[in-house]
Chains A and B, each alone.
Chain A
Amino acid sequence: MVKTMLKVDKLNVAFDGFDVITDLSFEVKEGEVLVILGPNGAGKTTLLRALLGLIPYRGNVVWATEDISYLPPQELWERRGLPPLSIEEFFRFKAVSMERILNIFQRVGLDPSLLKRGYGALSTGQFQRMIIGWALVDDPSVLLFDEPTSGIDIGGQETIYSLLHSFWKERNLTILLVTHDLNVVWEHAETVLCMNREKLCYGNPHKVLTPEELEKIYGAGIKHYEHTHR
């Protein structure tokens, strides 16, 4: 039987008396890819932060592991105004060996010479690949990733998702992904959680993401082109 990695029961989050998430319940199995979908302001980032205990909430959140890595959305990473910090030093914050760092650098397709480069000097695409390497260098069981491809061109987006997909297959990684990209849902998600402050749909994306459901999530005007290949 597949282990339940995360069980969420009646999760409620409120800021200044305003409900941001209401009565949300779901489960994530070991090795599952859950994509969290919803319009801006739906509470997706808040959900990840609550799951990690970064903000107060009501309800139950039970993880089967403490071995969790989290990558906040790119705009929440301070990249300018930091002191001189090489990529190698950034990886050393994790207290891992140089061999592991070089290995993960190779896996995410970055040249090892970039380790000497400044943390703020990478392009957006390189930076995203670098932080995926950083998140996975100490071999976590779960990865929570908030908007992995914001600000990245289509080619770069495909690279990031292919990379995540290969790590998922290779390591039986449990992944919770926040995205706006429906292609990702069709191609990589085993389960989708649609939300707009409350749960709108939950289950296999090919079954629950009907045109009507998409219209309910994003409003009228959403075209539905389902990809059937995997």
Chain B
Amino acid sequence: MDFLPALIMSAFIGGVAGYLGSLMLSKRMALVGGPLGHLSLPGIALALIYGFDVSLGAFLFIVVGIIFIWLVEVRTKLPMEAITALVFASGVATSFVFLPEDKTVPALIGDISQITPDIVVIVIVLSSAIFFVTKRIYSKMILVSISEDLARVEGIDTKKFNFIYLACIALVISLGVRIVGGLMTAAIVAIPACTSKNLSKTLTQYAYGGLVLGSLGCILGIAAAEVTGVSAGSAIIMANTAIFLVSLVLKRAT
């Protein structure tokens, strides 16, 4: 693993995932990262087989999956969680049909062994773009969470904002699978947000807490992976979990 590029890339992905995750948690969608990560597995499998970028493969399948979930929900009125379960299980099953055995582990828990400077630059640009877009819609989406009717009367185009929000989620998950694989993406979205909620008293603290803690979890995880030789994906999740446990102690102390 090239330590510095991996560290920079993971810090950016972790930060934006934590920031967006804080919004997802407030909309009770933090776990959506899991099914979407699983859904990305066929895309990761194809990328690994044909040698194109895993985030691109993941993104294409996540977008197709989100559109499918939305269409089925509109047509059938089935609960979204049920349709999501159907889609992500199908995604996992499909990926294992044609995923070569030696590519299985990287697809499931991530692989940052071959990070080029180009990829780092692309990740920095995309993460920053997602951050600024999310920042613009953040307070409006919180108002939608409080009451969609209220938000609409206040002039918020809820359909447009929901679309932007879902696009940001698809992009973040696609970036996330690069560092933690398709199996554990929910964790980089949900854990920093939960930790930040434990430590915050205002929305600003909570949102930026998600960003800082998400980034910190990735930095500590990559450092731990470098030192111990465990997979970076697992180390990142364990670092995030450790920070969360510390936040529980701090919360109890205050």
Q: Is the CB of B153 within 8 A of A69?
A: yes
Determine if A125 is an interface residue (Cβ-Cβ < 8 Å).
no
Determine if A15 is an interface residue (Cβ-Cβ < 8 Å).
no
Q: Is the CB of A84 within 8 A of B197?
A: yes
A 89-132 binary contact with B (CB < 8 Å = 1; else 0): 10011100000000000000000000000110000000000000
Determine if A167 is an interface residue (Cβ-Cβ < 8 Å).
no
Closest residue to A90 on the B side, CB-wise? B146
Determine if B26 is an interface residue (Cβ-Cβ < 8 Å).
yes
Give the number of residues in A that approach B within 8 Å (Cβ atoms).
23
Determine if B205 is an interface residue (Cβ-Cβ < 8 Å).
yes
Interface of chain B, main secondary structure: helix
Determine if B28 is an interface residue (Cβ-Cβ < 8 Å).
yes
Give the number of residues in B that approach A within 8 Å (Cβ atoms).
25
Q: Is the CB of B149 within 8 A of A70?
A: yes
A70 to B149, CA, bound (A): 8
Determine if A78 is an interface residue (Cβ-Cβ < 8 Å).
yes
- Which B residues touch A85, using CB under 8 A? 142, 202-203
> Known contacts A81-B28, A84-B202; is A93 also within 8 Å of B143 by CB?
yes
Tell me which of B25, B143, B152 contacts A83 (CB under 8 A).
B25
- Chain A min CB distance to B182 (Å): 27
Q: How many A-B residue pairs have CB under 8 A?
A: 65
A162 to B49, CA, bound (A): 71
- Which A residues touch B25, using CB under 8 A? 83
A76 to B149, CA, bound (A): 9
Q: Is the CB of A52 within 8 A of B149?
A: yes
B 16-30 binary contact with A (CB < 8 Å = 1; else 0): 000000100110100
Determine if B201 is an interface residue (Cβ-Cβ < 8 Å).
yes
Tell me which of A49, A78, A92 contacts B146 (CB under 8 A).
A78
- Chain B min CB distance to A166 (Å): 23
User: Within residues 44 to 93 of chain A, which ones have a CB less than 8 A from any CB in chain B?
Assistant: 49, 52, 54, 68-72, 76-78, 81-86, 89, 92-93
> Known contacts A78-B145, A93-B143; is A84 also within 8 Å of B206 by CB?
yes
A52 to B204, CA, bound (A): 31
A-B contact pairs, 13 of them (CB 8 A): A52-B149, A68-B153, A69-B153, A70-B150, A71-B150, A78-B146, A78-B147, A83-B142, A83-B200, A83-B207, A84-B197, A84-B203, A84-B205
B residues within 8 Å of A by Cβ? 22, 25-26, 28, 139-140, 142-143, 145-147, 149-150, 152-154, 197, 200-207
